[in-house]
Structure 1
């Protein structure tokens, strides 16, 4: 018997994330309302959005999907969406209630990464209305342990909560055949202030005083792209910018590095929740050097370098890792083993399916 799941996407849903994981759950078929065609074996219903603002974090949450009400409740077992306060979650809640009012059997799941118990958006309408609308959702699926804590702090029923951390494709994200000897640092994340590419650039300038041959390779796009392009244009900076990479090219890019780095820092409504980029780099056998932010310690295991939010501290940790090939090899091997054991994609998707089955 196949589980039929309707996914109501955010307008800027990233590929091969939540909806893709849902489609990889055993005996599950997903229909996705989305602006762009999703990856995977998913039935796509092209959708447009009412989106009054387009700023970074509000951009996804503050948007309504057109056509939710056109879906036939008799065709689905579940409706699912991302994050409590997103307006599409409110839409999913209303659609599910209307279906049940007509004798339908649709259940609701909300996927959440949120790790701030006092998330300020929850106090602002219409975000607050979306949160309240899903208090009786059947399943609250948390991607990090801290998300469960935040749900409990906000009065959600613990019996409806399950925690299943995300997986990465460990057949694609694999270590290189030979260790990278060159002191090459890789950054693969959005080029935005909250991911700290500006601090990484500053830290690398310090690193090159001790390790003159060190280079930084940057993949991504975002509002700070100009800073990266300017650094790459200066031969003295040792920066290589490859732009935004399609998903299939990310594993190969990571395998060119000796160390992976980011430098996240919180905003008024966000802190690092897990960081899939860490897991992908770790699966490729890279040690990680990053700043402590939010709950990224749930991804970055001991042996890697989690340092204070300080350019000098970041630079010192990078120098230490770059100058110690034996440590890099040891930490990298442990990282690869950790991801295989705890974040293999097929295994984690099966665990997500088991969470849904708990309520069926």
Structure 2
């Protein structure tokens, strides 16, 4: 399999899952060596916009034309309107290479679908052989856009439940963790505001923030004032995130939609639940597929977020029960090995149909 979708931007995600599928050899065009058992072809991407763009990356891979289609059974890309999806479709034309597209998209009327050259990439994706939807809403959005249902498979994301695991003893400390990009759409500003209200009722409550992004300065300014209880953990690897979550009381984000994006699932929700802690977050898009009762999905309102956090932080028995239920569900429904095997089965199913 050849993977050609900005792997440097999403470590231990889609490309990593491909590499964990049984009996699969994966080659990736990437600027940095990917994590996993992957053949790395050092490559660059032309990117007029340097940051990752949700819904469809504005980027083309350099050197794809030098790859021999005869060496691969599949070429796989991320998102229907990502420009490399159209690029991969053109590259495989006239060969026996099958194409798969992984999508998280949950907006039936995604505005980018109407904008060239995104629309061209979307149209070229209609010739793909397999669409792997990481959420149920992604399948619904594809059907609304006229894609063939018999090519669609829903496979929910997997979490390494050996790495993301509960602490030996749930913490007694009122520690809230925000682990997500520090961007307006993920709501770190809302969480900072909510924590001011929380500390009025739970003075010892602390907020530990992990991640990076355009609002990092806002977080650093808050952390500079010891009265806020805010701490900056910085950018962490998977093991660092797992350790942070396992020793927290609650995970909290506050996503809100943009003109071309709304929360789809949120891997951080799954990782937090696998670590046996409850989640407080705002209702946004289809994050209810990841965050289920008795976790707290609240309105996009600072007071509502604060009230939910206070309830969790002041009732340890309740949050321990919720955390245990979360852990059980993650092992049952999102274990990495199981979900990667299911993803591999989706590819095998399409291959079997073509025999």
Q: What is the CA distance between 1:60 and its match in structure 2?
A: 6.2
Q: Which residue is 2:170 aligned to?
A: 179
Q: Which residue is 2:246 aligned to?
A: 255
CA distance in 2, matches of 1:224, 1:273: 21
Q: Which residue is 1:36 aligned to?
A: 32
Specify which of 142, 160, 168 is matched with residue 159 of structure 2. Answer: 168
How is 1:48-127 mapped onto 2 (pairs within 5 angstroms)? 48-54=44-50, 56-57=52-53, 61-97=57-93, 101=94, 104-127=95-118
Q: Which residue is 1:282 aligned to?
A: 273
Specify which of 179, 194, 212 is matched with residue 203 of structure 1. Answer: 194
CA distance in 1, matches of 2:164, 2:8: 24
Specify which of 273, 283, 289 is matched with residue 292 of structure 1. Answer: 283
CA distance in 2, matches of 1:286, 1:90: 41
Q: What is the CA distance between 1:52 and its match in structure 2?
A: 2.1
CA distance in 1, matches of 2:220, 2:38: 37
Q: Which residue is 1:343 aligned to?
A: 334
CA 1:41–1:122 in 2, change beyond 3 Å: closer, same or farther? Answer: same
CA distance in 1, matches of 2:207, 2:160: 25
**Equivalent position SS for 1:28:** coil
Structure 1, residues 199-246: CA drift from partner, whole Å, max 9, x if none? Answer: 000000000111111111111111000111011110100111111112
**Equivalent position SS for 2:310:** helix
Structure 1, residues 257-282: CA drift from partner, whole Å, max 9, x if none? Answer: 10000000000000010000000000
Specify which of 348, 351, 357 is matched with residue 348 of structure 2. Answer: 357
Aligned structure 1 segments of 4 or more residues deviating by more than 4 angstroms = none
Q: Which residue is 1:19 aligned to?
A: 15
Higher alpha-carbon deviation: 248-257 or 195-204? 248-257
Q: Does the CA contact (< 8 Å) of 1:11 and 1:49 recur in 2?
A: no
**Equivalent position SS for 2:219:** helix
TM-score, length-scaled by structure 1? 0.96
**Gap regions ≥5 residues in structure 1:** none
Q: Does the CA contact (< 8 Å) of 1:259 and 1:286 recur in 2?
A: yes
Structure 1, residues 100-125: CA drift from partner, whole Å, max 9, x if none? Answer: x2xx3210000000000000000000
TM-score, length-scaled by structure 2? 0.97
**Gap regions ≥5 residues in structure 2:** none
CA 1:60–1:124 in 2, change beyond 3 Å: closer, same or farther? Answer: closer
CA 1:59–1:223 in 2, change beyond 3 Å: closer, same or farther? Answer: farther
CA distance in 2, matches of 1:13, 1:158: 29
CA distance in 2, matches of 1:214, 1:289: 15
CA distance in 1, matches of 2:49, 2:330: 37
Structure 1, residues 110-155: CA drift from partner, whole Å, max 9, x if none? Answer: 0000000000000000000000001010000000000000000101
Q: Does the CA contact (< 8 Å) of 2:196 and 2:228 recur in 1?
A: yes
CA distance in 1, matches of 2:39, 2:56: 21
CA distance in 2, matches of 1:60, 1:166: 19
Cα RMSD (Å):
1.2
Specify which of 313, 323, 343 is matched with residue 332 of structure 1. Answer: 323
**Equivalent position SS for 1:57:** coil
